[in-house]
Amino acid sequence: MRFRVWSKAITVLLGLIFLLTGCWGNLPVNNRILVLAMGIDPAKSPNQFTVTFQSPTPSAVTNSSQGSSSGSGGQSAVFAVKGTGQSLEAAFNQAQAKVSKDLYLGQLQLLVISNQLKPTLLKRAVTSLQSIGTLDKTPYIVVANESAFKMLQQTSPQAKFPSLYFISLFGCMSCQTDALGMRFWQYLVRIDTRGVDPYIPVALPFSQGYRVDRIALYRGYHYVTMLDPTQTTTFGILQGLAHKVSLYLPKFQATVAFLTGPSRLTTQVVNGQVHATFNVHLTAMLMGLDSHSETTQKISEISQMASDTLAKRCVALVRQLQHQDVDPLGIGRMLSWQHPDTFSHYAHWHQEYPKVHVIVHCVVKITDVGTTK
Partner 1 sequence: MWPFSRHKPKFDAKRPEIAQHLDEPPKSPAMKLMETLKTSEETLEHVTGVDLGLLKDLITETQTFSKRLEALGQDLTQGKSAIPEKTLDEFSGDVEAAYDRLKSTVGQSPDIIIRRFYIGQSQQVPALLAFVDGLASNEMIDQDTVTLMQSYKGTKSLQQNPSTAHQIIHDSVVSVGHATVETKWSKLIIDLMGGNTIVFIQGCAEVLVLDTVKYPARAISAPMTERAVKGPQEAFNEVILTQMNLIRRRIKSPNLHFDPVKVGQLSQTLVVVAHVEGVTNPELVMAVKRRLTSIQIANLEYSNTLSESLSNSRSLFPQVRSTERADIVARDLAMGKVAIMVDNTPYALTLPATFIDFYQTTDDYTASFWEASLERLVRLLGLFVGLLLPSLYIALSSVDPELLPTKLVITIAGSRVGIPFPPIFEVIIMWTIIEILREAAIRLPKELSTTLGTVGAIVVGTAVVRAALVSDIMIVIITLTALGLFTSPVYEMAVPWRILFWFIIIAAYFLGIFGIILALIVILAHLASLENFGVPYLSPFGPLRVRDLKDSWVRFPERNMVYRQTSLRTVSPKQRTRNPKKPMVSPQLHQTQQEHFDDEV
Q: Mask 68-107, x = binds partner 1 (CB under 8 A)? A: ------------------------------------x-xx
Minimal distance, residue 166 CB to partner 1, in Å: 11
Per the DSSP assignment, residues forming a β-bridge with 123 are none
Q: Residue 155 CB, nearest distance to partner 1 (Å)?
A: 16
What is d(CA 75, CA 207) in angstroms, rounded to the nearest whole number? 17
**Minimum separation from the CB atom of position 133 to partner 1 (A):** 10
Smallest distance, Å, CB 334 to partner 1?
35
Does 23 bind partner 1 (CB under 8 A)? Our answer is: no
Helix (H) or strand (E) holding 20: none
Question: CA–CA separation, 265 vs 278, rounded Å?
Answer: 5
State in angstroms the smallest separation of the CB of 100 from partner 1. Answer: 14
Q: Which of 3, 23, 28, 74 binds partner 1 (CB under 8 A)?
A: 28
Pairing of strands 273-287, 49-56: unpaired
**Interface pattern 104-143 for partner 1 (x via CB under 8 A):** x-xx-x------------------------x-x-------
Binds partner 1 (CB under 8 A): choice among 4, 44, 66, 348: 66
- Contact segment (CB under 8 A) with partner 1 among 162-170, 234-242, 268-276, 341-349 equals 162-170
Q: Which is nearer to partner 1, 17 or 347 (CB)?
A: 17
**Residue 63, interface with partner 1 (CB under 8 A)?**
yes
Rounded least distance, CB 54 to partner 1, Å: 13
Q: How far is the CB of 350 from partner 1 (least distance, A)?
A: 37
Of residues 372, 274, 256, the one with CA closest to residue 322: 274
58 belongs to the binding site for partner 1 (CB under 8 A)? yes
Which of positions 31-50 make contact with partner 1 (CB under 8 A)? 32, 34, 36
Rounded to 5 degrees, what are φ and ψ at 172? -115, 115
Q: 55-63: long-range contacts at Cβ-Cβ below 8 A with a sequence spacing of 24 or more?
A: 55/79, 55/80, 55/81, 56/160, 56/161, 60/160, 60/161, 61/30
Nearer to partner 1 by C-beta: 26 or 207?
Answer: 26
**H helices of the chain, where?**
2-19, 58-65, 88-96, 119-130, 148-153, 162-171, 184-192, 229-239, 296-323, 331-338, 340-345, 349-352
Query: What's the rounded Cα separation, in Å, for the pair 11 and 19?
Result: 12
Task: Select from 161-169, 240-248, 323-331, 333-341 the region that touches partner 1 (CB under 8 A).
Answer: 161-169
**Does 16 participate in binding partner 1 (rule CB under 8 A)?**
yes
Site size toward partner 1 (CB under 8 A) is: 32
The vertex-164 CA angle with 112 and 240, nearest 5°, equals 70
Contact, 180 vs 200, CB < 8 A? Answer: no
Nearest Cα residue to 287 out of 251, 256, 253 = 256
If binding is defined by CB under 8 A, does position 167 make contact with partner 1? yes
Q: Using an 8 Å Cβ cutoff, are 345 and 206 in contact?
A: no
CB 207 within 8 A of CB 344: no
Least Å distance, CB 179 to partner 1, is 20
SS3 264: strand
Q: Which is nearer to partner 1, 81 or 334 (CB)?
A: 81
64 contacts partner 1 (rule: CB under 8 A): yes
Note the residues at the interface with partner 1 (CB under 8 A): 13, 16-17, 20-22, 25-30, 32, 34, 36, 56, 58, 61-66, 104, 106-107, 109, 134, 136, 163-164, 167
